[in-house]
Structure 1
Amino acid sequence: MEPRPYRPHHLGRAGEDEAVRFLHSLGYRICARNWRGSCGEVDVIALSEAATATSQRSALSEISARRAHDEFVFVEVKTRSSTTFGDPFEAITPEKYRRLYRLAREWIALNHPRAPWRIDVILLLKSVHGFELVHHKGLVA
């Protein structure tokens, strides 16, 4: 019996959950999911692995105790069930990147004005065996 396909919203949520598990496995701290700003939404905001020295702290206290070399990571997650309509990376258009950039700057200005940050993209392709995942760090326009 073939597994039932995900509905688009459920597939996206499953992909975001998988991306968060992946980021945790790298030592990232999740600060926010589906954060809404003035021009859209960021799927995941995380604090990079440089912040993992004190693993018992919560994400919020970790943010408060941020060291100078920590980096916030704004993650766009793109999940597809097939490549019929193109590679997931093709969904990251120049306009999408500009929107992510504006959202990242907005969040940083509200929370940590001098903190370093970057934009990453996690691409997932659903297969019968789970997800195939590709992580692109430091996306630039």
Structure 2
Amino acid sequence: MRLWPHLSRKIGRQKESDAKAWLERQSLKIIEENFHCKGGEIDLIALQSETTPAGKKHERLVFIEVKFRQTAEFGHPAEFVNLGKQQRIHKCAQRFLMKYPDYQNHPMRFDVIAMTADEPPQWIQNAF
């Protein structure tokens, strides 16, 4: 039995849980965790309440990729959300919207939460 992939998944799930708690403190409402579809997964899906310049309130649907690296020595964690990963997340988001059509008219955004062991989370909004 190979221990490293199991440990890596466990750490990844813990960091996603940490990111979820952090985002909730930023007033996001997490509506889905680890949404799986053929060929991909979205770590977190949330709703963010916003007010337009005209004073109208609405909710934005936010698809969030969580990336953790022990250090940024070999690159910032967000750098590991490459074009292929972005395309898989987009396809998964389309599947989410087909499964939950009530969200289809929400404004949407794709964010990254980049984390290292020695720094607070970095929230990159409209990352791709």
The alignment's TM-score, normalised by the length of structure 2, stands at: 0.80
1:76 alignment partner in structure 2: 65
2:127 alignment partner in structure 1: 139
> Does the CA-based 8 Å contact 1:26-1:49 persist in structure 2?
no
Where 1:71 maps in the other structure, the secondary structure is strand
The whole-number CA distance in structure 2 between the counterparts of 1:118 and 1:99 is 15
The whole-number CA distance in structure 1 between the counterparts of 2:81 and 2:9 is 18
1:39 alignment partner in structure 2: 39
The alignment's TM-score, normalised by the length of structure 1, stands at: 0.74
Where 1:49 maps in the other structure, the secondary structure is strand
Q: Percent identity?
A: 28
1:54 alignment partner in structure 2: none
Which is richer in strand?
2
The whole-number CA distance in structure 1 between the counterparts of 2:13 and 2:68 is 9
- Where structure 2 has 5 or more consecutive residues not aligned to the other structure, the ranges are 1-6
Q: Which amino acid aligns with 1:123?
A: A
Where 1:108 maps in the other structure, the secondary structure is helix
Q: Which amino acid aligns with 2:32?
A: A
1:16 alignment partner in structure 2: 16
The whole-number CA distance in structure 2 between the counterparts of 1:14 and 1:38 is 23
- Where structure 1 has 5 or more consecutive residues not aligned to the other structure, the ranges are 1-6, 52-66
* 1:132 to partner: Cα distance: 2.2
1:104 alignment partner in structure 2: 93
* 1:68 to partner: Cα distance: 7.3
Q: 2:111 aligned with 1:120, yes or no?
A: yes
Where 1:85 maps in the other structure, the secondary structure is coil
The whole-number CA distance in structure 1 between the counterparts of 2:105 and 2:13 is 31
Q: Which amino acid aligns with 1:24?
A: E
1:88 alignment partner in structure 2: 77
Q: Which amino acid aligns with 2:108?
A: W
Root-mean-square deviation (CA), in Å?
A: 2.0
